[in-house]
Structure 1
Amino acid sequence: MKASAGITALILSLLLTACGWQLRGTTSKPNLETLAVSGASTELRYTLEDELENQDVLVHGESPYLLVIDDEDWMRRTSAVDAQGRQAEIELRYTLYWHIEDRKTGALLTTPKRVMALRTLPWYPENATASSDEESMVRDDLYEDMSYRLINQIATASQRWEPY
């Protein structure tokens, strides 16, 4: 009985890893030694550079590869109201458009891509300061999440071309 439970658990864990599922915050390692970042907001740039350096990718302005952040778009909307018609829940949507190009030739190494992350959080009209602080923390979380997603996409894309 114990052996069949162990085998079942082993098979289920192998199936789960085979489908590509990863824990939140884990990233694939890009097949690059260096990368330059252009066009990102300060918050995204710092978060992205820290995570790239944790992946042993040196971020500097003379890299032959240039990650171009074409556009960052924040959307904030009310997603629920209370009985008095006041805002009770908000939705934050962060969209990022990016591509990688060869610095020497200007050739696109990836097609322009879009990445989007969404969070919903409660809003307390009677405690706007705390709600505002929570919104700020969620925005920071979205920058971090977007960095992980972007690095995973860079890692996938960097497998397709031959780095210098």
Structure 2
Amino acid sequence: MKVIAAITTVLLTLLVSACGWQLRGETSVPSMESLSLMGASTELKYSLEDELENQGVLVHNESPYQLIIDDEEWMRRTSAVDNQGRQAEIELRYTLYWHLRDVKTGALLTTPKRMMALRSLPWYPENATASSDEEQLVRDDLYEDMTFRLINQIAAASKGWETY
């Protein structure tokens, strides 16, 4: 019976790892030595620079590859109200448009892409200060989530490129 349980555990572990599942925050490493970053908001830029440099990708303006953030959009809406008609829950939606470009040739290395992340959080009208602090924490979490997702997309796009 113990042998069957051990074999089942090993098979399930292999199945989960074979499907590409990763823990949140785990990123693939882009196959490039450096990257320049254009057009990002300050929060996203710092988050991307920190994570890329942690993975050994230098971020500087002399790189042969350029990550261009075409646009960032935030949408905030009330998603639930209480019995008095006041907002009880809000939804934050962060949308990012980006592409990669070869600096030497000017060629697009990826088509322009769109990524979106969404979070809901409770809103307490009687404690607006704490609610706004919690909203800022959720925004920070969305920047971090988008950073990891963007780096994974860059890594997938850069597979097979020659590094300079």
CA distance in 2: counterparts of 1:11 and 1:128, whole angstroms = 50
Give unmatched runs, 5+ long, in structure 1.
none
CA displacement at 1:105 relative to structure 2:
1.5
1:39 corresponds to: 39
| Amino acid aligned to 1:27 | T
| Amino acid aligned to 1:70 | D
Tell whether the 8 Å contact from 1:109 to 1:161 is kept in structure 2 after alignment: no
CA distance in 2: counterparts of 1:148 and 1:62, whole angstroms = 23
Give unmatched runs, 5+ long, in structure 2.
none
CA distance in 2: counterparts of 1:9 and 1:42, whole angstroms = 45
1:59 corresponds to: 59
Secondary structure of the structure 2 residue equivalent to 1:104: coil
1:67-103 residue CA offsets vs partner (Å, 9 max, x unmatched): 0000000000111111111100000000000000011
Structure 1 residue 91 corresponds to structure 2 residue 91: yes
Question: TM-score by structure 2 length?
Answer: 0.98
Question: TM-score by structure 1 length?
Answer: 0.98
CA distance in 2: counterparts of 1:18 and 1:79, whole angstroms = 37
Tell whether the 8 Å contact from 1:32 to 1:163 is kept in structure 2 after alignment: yes
Structure 1 residue 122 corresponds to structure 2 residue 103: no
The percentage of aligned residue pairs carrying the same residue is 77
2:70 corresponds to: 70
1:24 corresponds to: 24
Secondary structure of the structure 2 residue equivalent to 1:143: helix
CA displacement at 1:121 relative to structure 2:
0.4
CA displacement at 1:161 relative to structure 2:
3.0
